Structure 1
Amino acid sequence: MIQLFRTKIELDHQAEIAMGISRVERSLSVFFDKVDVISRELNRSELVVQTLYEKNEENRNKTYQALYASTSELRRVAQFELYSIGGICKYSTSTRTLNTKLPTYSGILKAAADQPDKLVIRGVNEYTSASKDILLRAARTIMDNAGNCIGYIVVSMKSADFENLLEDTYSHQDSIVILDRQWHTIFSTEPAKEKLIGHTLRERLMKGEDLSDLSKENNFHVSPLGSTGLFIVLQRDEVFTTDISKTMYSVCAVMTLLSLLLCIVVSVKISNNLVKPIHTISEAMHEVEEGYLDTRIETERIDEFGGLAMKFNIMTGKLRSYMERQIKQQQELNDSNIAMMQAQLNPHFIYNTLDTIKWVAKANNIQEISTLVASLAKILRTSISSGQLITLKEELTLAQCYVDIQRIRFGGEFKYTVEIEGDIEECIVPKLIIQPLVENAIIHGLAGRVDGNININVTEENEKLQISISDDGCGMSKEMMESLNSRDIKRSGENIGFANVDSIIRLRYGDEYGVSVSAVEKGGTKVKVILPFIMGEAAEYAKGIGG
């Protein structure tokens, strides 16, 4: 594990070093690319050529302006100079080098003259220099239209310039060295100066020794800087020294031993605490399987097993209560079934009696009694039937029977109409849901009137059956409509039929169905019944299970 951890840390360390040297290399490359562009621009400047070649003093200020404008971006990290063909500094972004002289027979100017189309970069320690604090120079010749060298563009960098250029590109842990092609040190950070990194590398290289071992020991990373002839060296101390590794191995060994001893003690303790209560619970569950619902687990433990035993005792108690309640409910159901079968005898007797009265009334030409008895018998026969679902056509027939009875009873002349949109009379509805609502319309809506209108409108929309019962009677107060629409039976008052119909529909089909009431603009009340639209095979199935 330690070795894996060490390998991971070392890989991350190497990746950080590579990223660090990449940032340094990118910063220097961008700088020298910009210097190359600026030197090319000045080399092609007619103003610079004219000033150096013709020694036209009138253009001196313009030349300075051109020099400062071209180098504005880089003056923080370098100084720029224009030298004459004789090696004398004529223009400079630093007043310290004005009128100083560089040799033309050697050094940077000689190297630039030998390669007139290139930006030549040299460390100052390669040649004698009048400026002791300058570490690096880059130069390019200035040519006239005939191709003759008439001066030089020189870029100089000091230690402070390198620090400004490389600011924020490396960590404070890193030692940075910039070497020339002969592996002379051009620039070093303070940690690198203390470790003599550049000197050590050059000595080993001069002796022909392999640098790979030194790189592994000291975490060196060397990278050439493009075609500049310079080399970048980055060194960072190892994260894991030999002493640190030994300490980590020792600590790990001690912790492993202590962990092993602790695991043994804990495993013995856990084993003793787990096996016994598990065995107890297993035996208790076996007794419950055998039907002994009075089984309980007695324990004084307050841990998870104590809680489990308590929940087991609660479960067996509830299971015992549930079984007793089921037995009691089954007995009550059996008693109810017997009572229901006995109760069905009396309605059948009443129906048969009503049928006899109907035929006696017909025989004596008393049409009203015959109609009353026939309608009442039909309603009674449907109410005592075992099926809970009937067709819409049958339900509307029951409502018509009730209307016939009410017309004879009150002698009213109200109009009763039914409108059905589409072929939907065979859809399935709960029985006796329209008659109570028609009854409310007659008794409450048309109260005190001998005329009036009651209309039933049946439509199907979005797989829902909508039955609207409207009257043009006295209407209903806003408070009463709110009470009925609240679906609170206690607030329904005398409109118990409305509440019962709504409860029957919601219990069978869910809360999205039911009954609602609203006012009619021209006066009166409208009751709307929403049911699921059930036709065809679904209707036969629903009617079967509804019965």
Structure 2
Amino acid sequence: MIGSVYRRYIKNNLFMKLLLSFALITILTIITLSYMMYHVMSQSVVQREMDNQKKAMESVNAFLSEKYESVQSMVLGVYRDPRLAADISYFLQHDFRDYIEHGLNRYYEEDVAPYGLSYFANRLEDDPDIRNLMLYSAEKQSLYVYNRQKSAKLHVTNAVHSYVPDAMALDNKNVSVPNPWIRKEIDQWDPRLFAVRTAMNDKNSLKYIGQLLIYFDSDGIWKSLASYKETLKGTILVLTPDGHVIFDSSGTYYGKSYPYMNQIQQETGMLEQESYITTLAQNQAGYVVVGAIPKQEIAAASQGWRRTIIIASVLGILIAILFPSLVVINFAKRTNKIIRFMKKVETGDLTSRIIEPKEDELGQISRSFNDMLDELNRYIERVYKAEIRQKHTEFAALQARVNPHFLYNTLEVIRMRAISQGAHDVGEMIFSLSALFRNVVQQKAVYTLKDELEACRLYLELFRIRYKDRFTYAIECDRELYGIPVVKMFLQPIIENYIVHGIEADRDDNRAVIRFSRENGTIRVRVEDNGRGIEPQRLEEIKEALGAPEEVGGSFGLRVVYERLKLLHGNRAGMELKSKPGTGTTVTVWFPEKEGAGESNV
């Protein structure tokens, strides 16, 4: 089935092959460009979403860093105020009852109320994200706790009865998840909390005396993500180095260890599903912000682009194929029209003409085809007339060759009579004429340059005898050229023109010179004389007559030589005339050296 369709519609149909090739190239090109465009757009979507998530992660990091810095700022505020530093130092190194008595005594003696604990109570009121603020005394192993209700409670955490001192002694990072023993001690079990703590030293002795520990509400991080809530994709987590979850935007892993801790250092990895991963570490505070976007969400975001690119590609393919197809079909119709006319010409109808008004390549072919038919008709007419002339010529040649020996014998009788009467010059002329006549009428398989030179010499010798010392001639030809085949009698008409029209009987220096030369495979013959010359107007008429039909113009001899050379050698042969009145005439003839063998009798 496919083979028959190929043989019928494609195999011998150039335009169908062009159309199919163009369609295939177009489809492959558009599909390739569409794929590249989709790939670039997909990468752009991925990059945009990851950049958006990274900005959100930076906001989360900025929020956590702010809380971390606020805790450090609280401690620095204590150190900057000597009375406050002394009050807090006394509080952390003595029992609570002693601290109260010490404060009353100072108030009595200095009229200054203690404000160490109120300083931290005010900080709790200033930051709504603080859930608990705790002061731990390392010496007394007690924990003083504030909550959001601004109530305070002192917890005795002696190492004998509690693990809190051990938990506070651990070298944890500054930002972490709340310790479970501290949670138990203060009865705080909300999983959405993160802890920030810092050591406190005595200002004077620099002795470690305790710690400031603050629990922040993790939901406060959402405030930093408010501007990204509509566009944020994937999940943002804040993790401790050991994998505990400080913040989880999905709410899945609060109170748990993150199970994919080993995969977060990769750019892509399998979490709940294959995802793009970005990390932002905060070494000073000791946490890492992780962003994970599932690849399926990215693909869903680029779904609209993919649909648009597919529709645009299909439309592009249809347009790119439809319009060229219409143009190709139009060309095919016009080409088939030309082919039909060619087939009509093959049947012998030379009157058919292609009507094609357009100026494109097919229009030029049509007009060239019409011109060819016109030229063919003219050529047929010329050949037909040439054949008629050839028949006449052959008939005349047959008549001229009737019993030529009768003419030879008659001329020989006349020559002997002239010699017997003492007219030796007449006898010599008759001998030259007889030899010339024999040379002209005899038929040879190959007529060479040597034969032509001999005929010219005999003809010139006749007139040398006639004019005696008033006319001389010279023939200059290398013997290597003697064997070259030439057109018979191509020089005699040129010499005859000089004898008839150029020689001056009253001068005693008439001279004709024939020179032969070989130039790049071309034989050049130069016939020079010092005769009357030709008037410029007459010279132009002769030149025009060379290419004219036989019935038009004069200079029959030169025209016959020119036509015979052109007929045998084409454009590689030619003739040139130069003349100046009173100075002489030069006729130059050239033709190719190798061509023409076997055609010398043309």
Q: With structure 1 as the length reference, what TM-score do the two structures score?
A: 0.46
Which has the bigger relative contact order, CA under 8 A and spacing at least 6? 2
Larger Rg: 2
